[in-house]
Amino acid sequence: MSTARVVSVASLGYALFAVGALSSCEVAPAPVPVPVVAVATARVQPVAMVNGETISAAMIEERLVERAGIEMLDELILETALHQELARTGIVLSHDAVANEEAALRAMLEQSVLGGDPETLILEMRAMRHLGTVRWNAFLWRSAALRALIQNETKVPAGLVEQLHDAQHGERRVVRVIAVQLADDLVDVRAALARGDSFESAATAYSIDPSASRGGLAGVVSRQDPAWPAAFREATFATAIGAISDPVLLSGAVIIIRPESAIAKDDVSIETIRPSLELEALRHTQRAAMESRARALVEGARVTVLDRRLDALLPTTTR
């Protein structure tokens, strides 16, 4: 075992990803256990057989740690920090609070411009992020825990209601995207497009965004919609309908955008729908606060790595 070192784990990985407008959670006496990754009772336990010969858990453990160990560690660091923060603040989550996260996600997807069955869309998201039952339940628990922690700390910023009104009723564009990890990865994408492949087929083949299964269809973007990064919105409206944008760098990914069609501004006034806009603005503010709290908890955690396999995969920054 390697000498332990203390590191600051700043990357959240898939510990938290945006799921849209979720309802507020309840706080009640009934505790919800923190989901943990199931482990084999014995490392020699067989997991498969090939022509009569066994493959044990120990045989695949090294490869599993190498492939996803850091991502799992990030998730568990956040879960542990959340558990400690809930205990410190005296908050106990109810089972309903966790269940409400999934129910609200389904409700949001039912109203999504992406169309399709909410269950299918959830399955697509889970498949893209390799979220089986254990990790999906853990994600819902983290979301409920974060919502409980920031419940009384959110104030809607000035102008957000107006931004949301523009997002729903101002000039908008339907967009498709292709996201890759590195700029060099775009070479294959551009080659496919140059030989006549459709943008949709290239997105399906190469994109790492969840929209890949829909041919890159990402949704509707307005000039002021806070749900989309400013650089993404600017590129969307700087690109002609049917053309392909210059690469946009966002959150460790390189994205190209193709605006599919334009939706003209409508005549719905802000006052006629202000109550629903104010509720949506509150939910948007809560999501931003949840992400900020998650980041702060992870960055503030002092993590002693005891397993040399994980230690070798972490950045060298220490504190």
Can you name the residues that pair with 257 across neighbouring β-strands? 177
Q: Are residues 231 and 137 in the same domain?
A: no
Residue 269, domain member (yes or no)? no
Q: Are residues 185 and 89 in the same domain?
A: no
Task: State residue 112 phi and psi, 5-degree precision.
Answer: -70, 150
The pLDDT value recorded for residue 116 is: 67
Residue 273, domain member (yes or no)? no
Q: Are residues 24 and 148 in the same domain?
A: yes
**CATH code where residue 221 lies:** 3.10.50.40
Residues 22 and 143: beta-carbon distance below 8 Å: yes
The pLDDT value recorded for residue 44 is: 66
Give this prediction's pTM: 0.62
Number of domain units in the chain? 2
The pLDDT value recorded for residue 153 is: 80
Q: What is the pLDDT of residues 147-183, one digit of tens each?
A: 999 988 878 888 889 988 888 888 999 999 999 998 8
The pLDDT value recorded for residue 70 is: 85
Nearest to 42 by CA among 24, 27, 54, 25: 54
Nearest to 246 by CA among 153, 192, 178: 178
Q: Are residues 73 and 188 in the same domain?
A: no
Q: Are residues 59 and 118 in the same domain?
A: yes
Residue 128, domain member (yes or no)? yes
Residue 160, domain member (yes or no)? no
Residues 12 and 298: beta-carbon distance below 8 Å: yes
Q: Are residues 183 and 300 in the same domain?
A: no
Q: Are residues 63 and 104 in the same domain?
A: yes
The domain of 218 spans: 171-263
Residue 71, domain member (yes or no)? yes
Q: Are residues 58 and 106 in the same domain?
A: yes
In which residue ranges of the chain is pLDDT below 70?
A: 1-44, 111-116, 313-319
The CB-side HSE value for 219 (13 A sphere, CA atoms) comes to 18
